[in-house]
Amino acid sequence: MLRANTSCICIVGKMPKTPAKRKRLRARENNDVPGPSTEPDHHPLSSVVPMIDYAELARHMVQQQAIQGQAEQQLVTENNVQGSQPEAATPTMTSATVSGGTHSVGATNVLPGPHSVSPMDTPNISNVGSILDVVFSDSPVPSSIFGAVSHPGSGTFIADLTSATAHILTASLTQASRAAYRRSWDLFLNYKPVTNLPLQVSDVCNFIGHLFQSNLSASTISSHISALGYVHKLFNLPDPSQAFVVKKLLRGCHKLAGTVDSRLPITKDILAKLIAALSHTVAAKANCILLDALFKLCFHAFLRLGEVVSKSAGSSSLVVQRSNVAFQFEGSLLKSVQIVLHHFKNQKQNNPFVITLESSIDPTMCPVAALHRYLSHFKHSSGPLFQFIGGNPVTYSYVSTQLYAAATFAGLNPKLYKGHSFRIGAATYATSLGYSENLIKQLGRWNSNAFRRYIRIPAFNL
403 in Cβ contact with 274 (< 8 Å): yes
The answer, yes or no, to whether residue 219 has pLDDT greater than 80, is: yes
Most confident of 127-136, 207-216, 338-347: 207-216
Q: How confident is the model at residue 14 (pLDDT cuts 50, 70, 90)?
A: very low
pLDDT tens, 414-438?
989 988 899 888 888 888 888 888 8
- Residue 125, pLDDT above cutoff 80: no
Spatial distance between the Cα atoms of 309 and 419, rounded to a whole number of angstroms: 11
More confident residue, 339 or 69: 339
CA 212 vs CA 216, 257, 261, 306: distances in Å: 6, 9, 17, 22
Cis peptide before 198 (omega within 30 of 0): yes
In this prediction, residues 11-21 reach a mean pLDDT of 50
Asked: is 174-260 a CATH 3.10.20.580 domain? The reply is no
Q: What is the pLDDT of residue 239?
A: 94
Which residues, 6 or more positions from 14, have their beta carbon under 8 angstroms from its beta carbon? none
Q: For residue 348, give the nearest of 114, 118, 174 by alpha carbon.
A: 174
Distance CA 234, CA 379 (A): 44
Contact (CB, 8 A) for 209 and 188: no
Per-residue pLDDT reduced to its tens digit, 141-192: 665 555 555 444 443 445 567 778 877 877 788 777 888 899 999 999 999 9
Edge-to-edge strand ranges of the sheet holding 325-330: 325-330, 333-341, 353-358
Top pLDDT among 69 and 397 is at 397
CATH superfamily of domain region 268-454: Intergrase catalytic core (1.10.443.10)
pLDDT at 402: 96
Please indicate whether the domains covering 174-260 and 268-454 agree at the CATH topology level: no
Give me the pLDDT at residue 77, please.
Answer: 56
Closest CA to 151 of 91, 100, 74, 194: 91
The structural domains of the chain, with segments of one domain joined by +, span 174-260, 268-454
Query: Sorting pLDDT into bands at 50, 70 and 90, what band is 33?
Result: very low
Task: Count CB atoms within 10 A of the CB of residue 257.
Answer: 16
Task: Among 103-112, 254-263, 321-330, name the one with the lowest average pLDDT.
Answer: 103-112
114 vs 325 pLDDT, higher one: 325
CB contact at 8 A, 429 and 423: no
